[in-house]
Amino acid sequence: MIKLKTAEEIELMRESALIVSKTLGMIAAEVKPGVTTLQLDAMAETFIRDHGAVPGFLGLYDFPNSLCMSPNAQVVHGIPNDTPLQEGDIISIDCGALKNDFYGDHAYTFEVGEVSPEVKKLLEVTKQSLYIGIREFRVGNRVGDVGYAIQKFTEEHGYGVVRELVGHGLGRKMHEGPEMPNYGRRGRGKKFVEGMTVAIEPMTNMGTKSIKQLKDGWTILTADGKPSAHFEHDVAIVNGKPELLSTFKYIYEALGIESDEEDEFTSSTVKS
Ligand code: MG
Ligand code: MG
């Protein structure tokens, strides 16, 4: 079900989204060879609670932890464990927070030490595809326009677009309508209107788009064992246009990255 949000509700959602953004920024400084995903998960849970929120994933559909931790060939929904990260790994970290009855939910794929150029390119293309999709999330467009744009750009690079998992509406529930696939046809699907809030989240495989699931009932990984990347933002339609509720700026501050990629999607009232 699609729940449109008032301006006040969108501000509450921004608060929840920013807790996730800051959590990922804190985690960014801790992602290095030798650290375990369970250690990072514990840090994130403490940080989220210290900011007056509740981890959004913990217990949701019985998920056991606060962060989804998906290294290398894992696409999404990996469960934190005590295996140390290694130089050259990538780790997709998805984080949720619940505050004032609204969820924040976004994700970033981090490099552990130095990664290979081809993996770096996978991450760059996946992140670019996220913004290409967000650009289509505006009044008058439809769900298929976002999916088409992401799919076209991704497949032009020879990568696989995961079909079985999709983005989603976001609000008082972690998963509201509409579903936001990362593939689609122009002009198809639900029409976007003012006050819609969604999580857009391309999941991009270096090789085949096919996936499989581990027996743990959660972990999704690529069928061919090649790496997969995942980037996610929370976005609202404000004044007809896409506005980011989440930000990667805390991650970039931690990693010393300069970027203006969010500027076109940032409200003038929250820019400073
Ligand atoms: Mg997520
Ligand atoms: Mg999501």
- Going from the Cα of 7 to the center of ligand 2, the distance in angstroms, rounded, reads 21
- Going from the Cα of 168 to the center of ligand 2, the distance in angstroms, rounded, reads 6
Q: Which pTM value belongs to this model? A: 0.97
- Going from the Cα of 75 to the center of ligand 1, the distance in angstroms, rounded, reads 12
- Going from the Cα of 67 to the center of ligand 1, the distance in angstroms, rounded, reads 9
In what helix (H) or strand (E) does residue 194 lie, and over which residues does it extend? none
pLDDT at res. 148? 98
Helices 117-135, 143-156: inter-axial angle, 10-degree rounding: 160
CA 253 to chain centre: 18
Overall CATH class of domain 7-265: alpha beta
- Going from the Cα of 94 to the center of ligand 2, the distance in angstroms, rounded, reads 8
Q: Which ligand is nearest to the CA of 199?
A: 2
CB of 130 closer than 8 Å to CB of 124:
no
Q: Which ligand is nearest to the CA of 168?
A: 2
pLDDT at res. 267? 79
Please tell me the distance from the alpha carbon of residue 236 to that of residue 265, in angstroms, as a whole number.
10
Please tell me the distance from the alpha carbon of residue 31 to that of residue 29, in angstroms, as a whole number.
6
Please tell me the distance from the alpha carbon of residue 186 to that of residue 2, in angstroms, as a whole number.
20
pLDDT at res. 18? 98
My answer on whether omega of the bond before 64 falls inside 30° of 0, hence cis, is no
List binding-site positions. Answer: 77, 94, 105, 168, 175, 201, 232
pLDDT at res. 80? 98
Q: Which ligand is nearest to the CA of 167?
A: 2
List binding-site positions for substrate. Answer: 77, 175
Delimit the domains of the chain by residue range.
Answer: 7-265
List binding-site positions for a divalent metal cation. Answer: 94, 105, 168, 201, 232
pLDDT at res. 131? 98
CB of 77 closer than 8 Å to CB of 218:
yes
Q: Which ligand is nearest to the CA of 231?
A: 1
Beta bridge partners of 229: 204
Q: Which ligand is nearest to the CA of 230?
A: 1
Contacts 24+ apart (CB under 8 A), 39-46: 40/67, 40/69, 40/80, 40/93, 41/65, 41/66, 41/67, 41/69, 41/80, 44/95
Per-residue pLDDT of the chain (272 residues; tens, 9 = 90+): 999 999 999 999 999 999 999 999 999 999 999 999 999 999 999 999 999 999 999 999 999 999 999 999 999 999 999 999 999 999 999 999 999 999 999 999 999 999 999 999 999 999 999 999 999 999 999 999 999 999 999 999 999 999 999 999 999 999 999 999 999 999 999 999 999 999 999 999 999 999 999 999 999 999 999 999 999 999 999 999 999 999 999 999 999 999 999 999 997 665 44
Residues with CB in 5 Å of ion ligand 2: 105, 199
